[in-house]
Structure 1
Amino acid sequence: MMRIMNNSIEQIREALEKAESVIIAAHTNPDGDAIGSVLAFSNALNNMGKKVYALLEDYAEKYNFVPGKEFVYTGNYDDLTADVFLSLDCGDTMRLKNAEGFVNKIYTINVDHHVTNEYFGNLNYVDPDASSTSEIVYRILNGWYNMDKNTAICIYVGIVNDTGGFRFTNTSPATMSVVSELMTYNFNFSDVYNRIYHSRTFKEVKIMGEALQNTELLCDGKFVISHVSMDTIKKYGGTIRDVQGVSEYLKGITGTEVSILLYEKGDNEVKGSLRSEDSFDVAELSQKFGGGGHKKSAGCTFKTSLEEAVSIMKNEVISRFKKGE
């Protein structure tokens, strides 16, 4: 069930129709759904004659093929204004990072699928039952915008990313119905899939190798935890974007129900990436540390050293396991 604080798709369309310019942003350290939803709307609104500013942090190289990168704004945010600020795939304003200030300055539309969303927009449309924000973007555009190949690719990228390539239980019949429609736009959907899940750079492989060396099993093997330092990332010429996919890979260990990867983003700043099966709610665990997300995919941030963050997380996991939580 969607919460009653939701506005209608018609209200969102009306607000966007009235706007001449739109700033579109997503969460920090964008994944495929953030990238896909932002660039899908960027392509669509540009084709509708709107001036579009897409705000995305640098993202993994494997997503460079996604259409719409030309809309990504690289100037000073302080100099930027528009009629509407459209936040996508972001549960709270803090995760907008440098774009957070637009929420207070510009009429804001908040579209998301995180159960932890704080409904911070002037208009809000949040559906935790949707596979992805990109699936919701399709709902908004379908029947209102004349769908095109580039926009279809973007939406497909987001859905493929957040369903784990249609492997996760958030993949619904409605999701597959959307995908079947997108596939009619004559793009190489298997190539897109392979770029997301079967393509990685050499530095990503080397960093993952280090993460595997640091892997520990906890709680009778039900939890697996690993960590990657900034020194390790830099050693291979990588960035924090090159650790994406490690936690998902760790979850594949036989008998493991929850995987946790902790990696350094900066001095006394450690990011936690958590994945789980149906039996454990990692969003609830992440909220303990000021984070959030989905039951099976969540994140959090520690303002400590990497060593201390690993210790804190391990102690929390072991404590919960002993209590039967």
Structure 2
Amino acid sequence: MTNAAPPFSNPATGSMLPGAQVDGAGVVPASPGTATPDLATLLAGSGRPHSRPRYPLRRADPRFCANSSSPEMQRMALVAALSVLIAGCSMLPEGRGVSRAPTPQIARPAALPAPSVADTRQCISALTQAQVRFTPVPDQVFGAGCSQLGSVRLSTIALTDAPRGLNELAISNIGPVRCELAQRFAGWAQFGIARAAEQMLGSPLVKIETMGSYSCRNIAGSVKLSQHAHANAIDIAAFVLADGRRISVKQGWAGSNQERAFLRTIYASACKRFGTVLGPDYNAAHQDHLHVDMSGQGYCR
């Protein structure tokens, strides 16, 4: 690798990052069970198998057997036998015999607090001052708890320190996102990704390719709604440079040393800005993109 570029501070955080110095981001036993006596032993009244019964059997009085074949006596005998069996089963330790699986409880997704009108207006004003091009999206509430509230659709992000003629960064394939997420994403693009590309890859950043934002769906393998269902998450797939190179998360995460260093630097930078960041090391579902959202508190995997 060439000589490292001089460090710089992030206007948003004011902290420093070693190496690329981008955006102030750091890399960021059960006790043994007791043997259970068999049912015959329990009925005999002893806890020791094959021991002599506590109450020896005696010949029954014929007076009590005279009507043993009557329906009433048969019912009484059946009830007594069932009572003994039930009592015996209740003595079995937990885990023995037939167990009943608990009825699964489907968790209802926690409602995401809607941004206030004042917060949305303030956020839109901040995006305008940061020279971010966007279109406000009307509030919408869909079925199954999905919503787009206080959202905007990003078009381009200004690059204040880019070379002449490259003063805007395009964002592709992105849908509505909550304004607060858009503001964090714009700052990450300006002071994290763009600067890392210039310093570590030697070429200005011209486009960020995403895999979308809003999608009314659950988290994979879960009954809980994804942050995508609230327009509160963005999936980033690749970064395109002015010299034509395309650094994808899928290929670059385990690619050249230069690509690996770049992607991990901007990943660490994202961890400083978003509530949750998930990458290829998290699971197979994220092998081809970086997921960022505003939920959680520094959950970076």
Q: Establish whether TM, by shorter chain, passes 0.5.
A: no
What is the TM-score normalised by the length of structure 2? 0.22
**TM-score with structure 1 setting the length:** 0.21
Higher RCO, 1 or 2 (CA under 8 Å, sep at least 6)?
2
Higher helix share: 1
Q: Highest Rg: 1 or 2?
A: 2
